[in-house]
Amino acid sequence: MKRTFAAGVAGIAAMLLAGTAMAGEAKIFETKSAINNLSTVTANGGKARDLTVGLGSGAYRRPGDPANMFYAVSDRGPNFVCGDVETVLGVSEDAVCHGNKVRVYPTPDYSPSIYTIFLNDDGSFDIKDVITIKDQSGIPLTGLTNKLTVAKTEKPVDANGNPLEQSVSSIDAEGIIRLTDGSYWIGEENGPSVLHVGADGTVINRIVPAGSEKDFDGAAYKVTGGLPAILVKRQTNRGIESMAVSPDETKLYFMVQNPLANPNADAYKAAKNTRLFVYDRVSEKLSGEYIYQLDDPQTFRNDPTDKQNAPRISEVLALGNDRLLVLERTDKTTKLHEVKLAGATNILASRWDDMSTNPTLEQENDLSKLDLVAVPKTLRFDSADYPMAPNKLEGLAIMGDGALAMINDNDFGIKGDPTKVILIDGLVQADKY
């Protein structure tokens, strides 16, 4: 497909197939940019593993930017669990983890970064304008875990099993938007938190769950406690992995990746209810909290399972005011649902944010008996209908001709996957692009 990014809006709208998973023609983009090559890592006595940059944890294109470009953000850097040690490094699990429950970081000095991506008509994409996320002194942040006491955390080690020092300033960047003033907002998984970041990548403010501020004492930037305290109940590695902004830039939207471990991990494993938040940028506080119910795990056609905690939220994109596109995925299947907040119950500051409530929201999958209404969902995309689509899609952007770009998180090539962008015409209709 020869595409030009000057295509007319009328042509895109004509291809829209509302209410169906199938839409217009799809195209895959890949890169040969040298910037994509990160490093080669080895463990003592192991094999060499070539790593690439994991660009696609989140994506966003600002309306008015060049039609063929978008921003992407990387997460905390290459990391994996002990069960993957032998596959990745070629040594025994015990040689690195020594029987401990730890997370392996083979390149612990990697800094979460913002990348500018340009799609080309020949099916390639270029990576330009790398911005590292840094503290107020200009020192790049690492992606190592925070030393938390209120929320669960992970102990990091290097490729040889040596303990790594946690940092109060580290972040796990997962979602991104850019405002017209040049600054960014980032959804962060570990805290969990949301961050306001300057145009040069300097953290301006990190907003964390109320009551957890002391865990970030000594951070090299401002930390405030503006999120509901109950978010410290997020399951490890299941924090905030998304970020969206309304067309007028007055509201931010973000979601918790999975239901909270509330009151415990058993509830997290069985729960369907995760939480969608609205942040008012004018008043600088939350204005809404809504329930999003995850799909039945058996409906993810490329990898159906009985595990309700398999589906997770990896991205959210604003199509209009309080009209969103939600990326819900498993390891091998991605769905996109259009949701509208109108008519759904706003539970902000209700008993469902109170940690003493029993049963919890996460233990109540049947909302009808609670007089609660989740956001309605309309399926717009199912990757099972597109065999060429990569696994683990995590970033969404509306391009300048209205087409939807999706980028995968390749986990820094740890399992050999390349980063790809899939572009589809006529899939959704956005108010502004």
Whole-Å CA distances, 323 to 44, 117, 267, 320, 343: 51, 26, 29, 5, 12
With respect to residue 433, please indicate whether it lies within any of the assigned structural domains.
no
Along the chain (433 residues), what's the average pLDDT of each consecutive run of 10 residues? 43 35 80 93 94 96 97 97 96 96 96 98 96 98 96 96 96 98 98 98 98 97 98 96 98 98 97 98 97 98 98 98 98 98 98 98 97 98 96 97 97 92 96 92
- Structure confidence at residue 23 (pLDDT): 60
Question: For position 129, what pLDDT does the model report?
Answer: 93
Name the domain count of the chain: 1
For position 416, what pLDDT does the model report? 80
The verdict on residue 432 lying in a domain is: no
Give me the pLDDT at residue 10, please: 32
Give the H/E segment covering residue 174: strand 173-178
Phi-psi domain of 77 (left: phi exceeds 0; alpha: psi -120 through 50; beta: other): left
What whole-number distance in Å separates Cα of residue 118 and Cα of residue 180?
A: 19
Sorted by sequence, the CB contacts under 8 Å of residue 334 that are 6+ apart come out as: 327, 328, 381, 382, 383, 389, 391, 392, 393, 406
Residue 358, in any domain of the structure: yes
For the chain, the C-alpha Rg in angstroms (whole number) is 20
Asked whether residue 110 is assigned to any structural domain, the reply reads yes
Within-domain flag for 220: yes
Residue 176 lies in a domain: yes
Q: Residue 111's domain spans which residues?
A: 9-424
In this structure, is residue 217 part of a structural domain? yes
CATH code, domain with 408: 2.120.10
In a domain, 136, yes or no: yes
* Stated pTM of the model: 0.94
